Structure 1
Amino acid sequence: MEKATSILPPHIKLSHSLIDLPRVGLGTFKLAGSEVTSSVSRALEIGYRHIDTAVIYKNEELISSALKQHGIAREEVFITSKISPYQQGAERARAAALEILQRLDSSYVDLLLIHWPGASKTKTTDPANAKLRLESWRVLEELYEQGKLKAIGVSNYEESHLKELASHAKIMPMVNQVEVHPQRPNTCLRQLCQDLGIAVVAYASLGCGHLLQNPIVLDVAQQTGKSPAQVLLRWGLQKGCAVIPKAANPGHLIAAGELLNWELPGDLEARLDGLENGTKYCWDPSGIA
C-alpha cells in the first residue's frame, strides 16, 4: 500500500483524466439552506477547491449559487456529484446527468459518480442491479467522451462490484468513494483500487462523530497537539485517500493546509490502526448482487 510523506501534494492524479483530484474537499451531505452557502463560502476562504455533492443531497443549486456569490471562476473549483439509486439504468442515468449540469449551471461536472451499486425498488439479490448499474456506467463513459464529465467513478462499490465493472468497462472508473476510518480501514478494497488505478475518496472519516471521543483518538490528539478531527482526517490522508470533511458550523472547518503539512508519526498511526473492528456507520452495499 502506498505510503504518504509528511508534506502531501494537494492533488491526486486521476487515471485517464486530464484533471487532478484535490485531496481535501468539502462534504455537503445533510447540509441545506444557509448551511450550504456559509459552509461553501468558508471552505473557499480557507483554501478548499473541491465541493462534494449528490442528487440525493438536494443542494446542487445552492452550491452553484454560493460559488457565484463568492465570485470564484467555475474552472477553479472541482465539483463532484452523484447519480442516485433511483436513477440507475440508461435513460434515467442520462437524464440525471444532464439535470445535474442544469442545477450546477455548468457545461461540465468535474467528477460524476454512481452513488450506489444497487437500484431503488430492486431486491438486493436481483441480477437486475448489475444490469442497471452497467447501463449507468455506459452513460457516464459516453458523457465523459463528450467532455461533459471530466472524470467518472463510483461510490460504495465493494470488491465484487469493482471486479465486475473492470471486466466490462471501456473506461475504468477513476474514483471509488467509500467509508474509511480507523475502525473500518477497508484495506483490501483500497488495495484493489490501487491495483486498478482507482483513487479512493474516504467519507465518514470521523466515524460519523463517534470517533471524536474515542480515548485512543483523544490521546493521539493530545500527543500531536492536533484536534481529534485533524488526527482522523490526517490518518485517512496517510492511507492514500482523499477526504471530504463537512461541518454544519463553518467555524469547525479545518483548513486544507492544516491537514497536508504535518505527519502522524508511525507509532501513533499504528495505535489508530489498532482500532479496526469492522464497525460500519453508514450504508452497507455488501449484499447487493
Structure 2
Amino acid sequence: MLKSIISLLSLTFTLSSFAASPIDFMTFPDSFECNDKFPHYSFCDAVEFKPWTEAEKDKIKSILKEIDRPELANFYKTIKEKGITKFHRVTYSSTWFPNSKMRRAEFIRQKENTLIWVNPTTNVIGITDKFFGSNNFIDPYTKLPRDTHAILHELAHVFDIAQKHISSEIKSDLGWSWDGKNDFIRDIDYQKSQDEFKEILVYIEQDNTNKTYYEDRIRGVKYGYPTLYSMTNSHECFAELITYYVLDPKAKEYMSQDIQTKLKEILQ
C-alpha cells in the first residue's frame, strides 16, 4: 500500500512539473513610463508603446508554450531570477546615443524596424507592429515559424544579459578569435561568409524577406553555424546558437562538438 502511495505521489509530482510552465513569469504590461532623466521621454516617443490586444497576447503565449522545453529549465530560471521579464507592445524599434550636453542617454527611432528587440539599457523587450503584420516563414530545418525562433532568440539575449553578458566570456569556445582589430570566426573563410551575408540582404530590398531567411539558413549551415547572421558578431552568434541548438533536430549534424559541449554546459 505504502509503495503504491509513493508511486502515485511520484507520478503526481512529475505531471505537475510538466503542467507548470517555467515561462509563466513573463508579463504583458500595457504601458511604460518615461521621464526627463532615464529612460528619457525620447525613448517612449521613439518606440511608441501601446496596449496589447488579447489576440496578440494569445499568440505570444502560444509561442512561449512551444519553446517550453525541458532543456531550457535553467535558462528560464536564470531569466526569472535576474533577467528582463516583461514583454512590451511597441510600434517601432530604437537606438540610443549619449547627449553629453544634457548628460543623459537619448533615443531615436530606427528606420529599419525589427520584429522584436531587447534594449539592455532600459530593460525592455519590445514586440513591434511588424512582428504581427509580416508573412511568417517556415524554417526548412526546424519546420517551425520564424516567429518562434525570433522569440527564443531574444530571450537568449535576455539570458545573456542576466549572466552579465556571458557571450563575451565564452566567444572563443564558440569559434571566435580577435585579429587585433576585429572579431572573426576561426577555421573558415570568414570574409567570404560576410560577403555572402551582404549578398542575401538584397532580397530584403526586393521585398522578399522569406528568400533572405531561407538563404541565411542554408548558407549558414554550410559553415557549421545556424545562419550567416549568427556569424556577424559574437552576441548574435550566442543567441542564434542557443535558439537552433534547442529547436533544430539537425543542429547536432552541423554544429561542432566543441560548440555543442559549451552550449550544453551553459544551459545546464
Tell me the TM-score normalized by structure 2. Answer: 0.23
Instruction: Kindly indicate whether structure 1 or structure 2 has the higher relative contact order, using CA contacts under 8 Å at least 6 residues apart.
Output: 1
Tell me the TM-score normalized by structure 1. Answer: 0.22
Larger radius of gyration: 2
